[in-house]
Amino acid sequence: MTFAFFLGMVLGFVGSMPVAGPIAILVLGRGLEGRASSGMYLAVGAAIAESAYAYLAFWGFSELLSAYPVVERATRGFAAVLLLALGTHFLRRPTTSTPERPPFPPDPEVGRKRSFVLGLTITALNPTLMVTWTAAVTFAHSLRVLSFEAGRALPFSLGTFAGICLWFALLLWLIGRYRGRFERSTLDRLLRVMGLGLLLLGLFFAVQALWPGAEGA
């Protein structure tokens, strides 16, 4: 069981490194805005949902999605709407030179809760992660480094959660350490580029939801 945890942690850590995914973009954006705590809550929410996918992949849950493709299309549709809204928000955010001042200080706990739910929701509505984790489990099985017994699914899933959180904690620490070296105008441009990336991801999910055959084209 210890090795199952370690394997899940390694796969979760390495699998979270690409910055092209919606969660990575959002966490990176939180870090650039100086909201590391909010970014970490978002990452933890995402890690919970993704570790659940890793757990289900251990049980061959992808077969259920194959049997009921409407479930996959519906979740991609919801994810598309959410990502398009977030991308629009990033693109329309005010520049740091003319910040919006709220009438009262925001409650940090509310922001953290919203970030947690946002990370959990976006990841839970991304059924492609089931395919990703099924491939990861299949690859690990082909190496014969672990016997895939039912009792190892939970430690593997917990290791995945730990690996994802570890990567995003490291990422936020690095951003917090070096973000002061960038000018505010540069940070604004980066955040807008991230908004455009979220819009493109939203359009990608929308195409897959409306025309599922386009994925294999």
Counting every residue written for the chain, the total comes to 217
Give pTM, 2 decimals: 0.70
Distance from C-alpha of 144 to C-alpha of 15, rounded to nearest angstrom: 20
* E strand residue ranges, the chain: none
> Who's near 194: CB < 8 A, 6+ residues apart?
25, 26, 28, 29, 90
The pLDDT tens digits of the residues spanning 110-138 come to: 578 899 999 999 898 887 787 778 777 77
The pLDDT tens digits of the residues spanning 34-68 come to: 889 999 999 999 999 999 998 888 776 545 555 65
Rounded to an integer, what is the distance from CA 154 to the centroid of its chain?
Answer: 20
Distance from C-alpha of 173 to C-alpha of 44, rounded to nearest angstrom: 15
